[in-house]
Structure 1
Amino acid sequence: WKHLAHAEQYIIYPRNIGPNLAIDETSLSCGELYTFVTNRDAHGGKGALLAAIRGTKAETVIAVLEKIPLNKRKSVREITLDLSSSMMFIARRSFPKATVTNDRFHVHKLFYDAIDELRISLRWMARDIENEEIARCRKAGEPYVPFRYANGDTRKQMLARAKYILTKHTSK
């Protein structure tokens, strides 16, 4: 590369454009954020980098990507990105014909978080049920014997240990 005047702000390789792109932001050092656009078909090898842009501000990234001729940008069929609304805006404006796909990692994370939230709410419900049973037994003067599943766990124990079990495939 010849020391270009804009190299501190961005580098761009229009020849690396392909039908399947990915866009993401990362912090390289000292909190400096960069936006990277890559050609997924290069699998991280030679020709993978389409653009590296300092910052994540949508207007800045779009302005750099618009330096690529529109007919090339229209050839992009799919662009994969995280769930960031800013990245979605960049993708839609810069690659008007592309289908936007959310990456699997972020979709899985949303799913696992939702399952864990449900597990925690059920755990609180199990605690409330146990407290009611303890109060009822005290009132009746009976010893409290908690409900146990076949493996010996109480409701609370099962839900406390079930965090990773709930997301495993049934074959495992």
Structure 2
Amino acid sequence: MQPLLTELLNLEGMEVETYSNCGDHLTLVIEAKTTCSTCPRCGEESHSVHQNHWHLSRDLKISDKDVFLKYNRRQFKCKTCGKPFSESLAFIGDRKHYTDRFAELVVKDLIHGDIHNVAKKHNITDDLVGSMLEYLSKKKWKFDPSRIKRLGIDEIALKKGQKDFVVVLVDLDRNELVGVVESRTHKAIQKELESWGDQVLKQIQEVSIDLSGNYRGLIHKLMPDAEIVADRFHVSKLINDALNNARIAEKKRLQDMADEVEKKRLNDILSKSKYVLLKSPDKLNEKQEEKLILIKENFPVLGKMYEQKEAFRDIFDNYFDWTEGAFALMNWMQDAEETYKDSIGTIYRWFTEITAYFETRTTSGAVEGINNRLKLIKRLGYGFRNFDNFCLRCLICWQLDIS
């Protein structure tokens, strides 16, 4: 039976000596096959066992039963330097009551769950799950900021309608989350970025940002060689929001109409018109195309703004040269001066960063998927008592080197 259990256990260098079946769990007594260990001080091998120290630790299930390993972490006496030392065991960390592979299983479950339910699934405590997460983050962290060449900086609200904002940092070439900052202040973001080191920051070539937080000064200070690119999708949102606000204003204006029949007719046309106005024409079905025609016929300002919105999108789709794209955008701004007045003011202030897109084509498009993942983690965040734990929980989805 012991050879079979040794094969099932599959821990290199370890053998099952005996076992006990305790109903709901198995206890396996295991020992190392080797009779020596290497001194961590001088590198010499020692065959002299000084003391035996038996421990009990949790491991992966066998036949749907919880498994506990009783193992001997022997203490050797080095004859060269005369110092005692405990042997290093590949399958478990020092002073840990769980094997590395069991911790990996638990943390992988944590990627799609919350601490409390993951703990319940594995018959362990919430605190032990947190301990495993912290342990593996130190042991198997693969984050290497020296690889970052294009960085995305974005703000997200973790709770809809609330000012619970965090700043996310994304490696745009690998679509990986590389940092989460609790505050939107320059001080907090600077602290996170500076932790990567000056050499890393100076090699970053492009930084994509939205238009809500003015991080230009901070980027110029910390990443002097980086080109700042305003994220195209945030720029488009600026135009879409202006068009939608105009649509809402038209609906409010209709409330003052005296002719009830005409009011109802126009209200019916504007009903459920948001998608029709904001989406590109190739995504509209036949019924929506008909509604768009009615909107243009009955609301000329909205019709004009719709055409200008589409022209704006075409500029960013079709121009790949900075000079040509910049002139096309300036012509558009002149044409839309009355209809998109506030938006044009913002475009003027961000003109250099917005037009940088024409040649770099850099966007934070990947950030959207990451942001949705973070919001899900927040909703599943039961069991995380502070921001550091939440941040760690987010980063394991991309930066933990486990199979």
Q: Deviations over 1:90-149 (max 9, x none)?
A: 333322222222334433332222111111222233444x31xx3xxxxxxxxx7538xx
Contact 2:146–2:200, Cα closer than 8 Å, also in 1: no
Match of 2:171 in 1: 39
Larger relative contact order (CA 8 Å, sep ≥ 6)? 1
Contact 1:24-1:87 at 8 Å conserved across structures = no
- Structure 1 stretches lacking a partner, 5+ long: 4-11, 135-143, 148-152
**Aligned-residue identity in percent:** 26
Match of 1:139 in 2: none
How far apart, in 2, do the equivalents of 1:26 and 1:124 lie? 30
Counterpart of 1:156?
267
**1:14 partner amino acid:** P
Partner of 1:76: 204
In the other structure, the counterpart of 1:22 is 152
Shift of 1:62: 1.3
Report deviation, 1:42.
1.1
- Which residue in the other structure is 2:262 paired with? 146
Structure 2 equivalent of residue 167 of structure 1: 278
The one-letter amino acid of 1:122's match is: E
Query: What is the aligned partner in structure 1 of residue 183 from structure 2?
Result: 55
Distance 2:215 2:138 in 1: 29
Number of residue pairs aligned between Structure 1 and Structure 2: 141
- How far 1:17 moved relative to its partner? 2.2
Shift of 1:2: 4.4
Paired position in structure 1 for 2:228: 100
Q: 1:118 to 1:42 in 2, by over 3 A?
A: same
Q: Counterpart of 1:154 in 2: which secondary structure?
A: helix
Q: Among 217, 238, 241, which residue is 1:110 paired with?
A: 238
Distance 2:228 2:250 in 1: 35
One-letter amino acid of the counterpart of residue 146, structure 1 = E
TM-score when scaled to structure 1?
0.60
The TM-score with structure 2 as length reference comes to 0.29
Whole-angstrom distance in 2 between the partners of 1:166 and 1:32:
30
Q: How does 1:129-144 map to 2 (within 5 A)?
A: 130-131=257-258, 134=259
How far has the Cα of 1:80 moved from its partner? 1.5
Contact 1:36–1:53 (8 Å) recurs in 2: yes
Q: Evaluate the alpha carbon distance shift between residue 163 and residue 78 of structure 1 in structure 2; reply closer, same or farther with a 3 A threshold.
A: same
- The answer (yes or no) to whether the contact 2:201–2:223 under 8 Å persists in 1 is yes
The superposition leaves residues 47-86 of structure 1 with CA deviations (integer Å, 9 ceiling, x where unpaired) of x62x444533212321342344445423222112232325
Task: Mark the CA change 1:146 to 1:23 in structure 2 (over 3 Å): closer, same or farther.
Answer: closer
User: 2: CA distance between counterparts of 1:53 and 1:121?
Assistant: 37
CA RMSD of aligned residues (A): 3.5
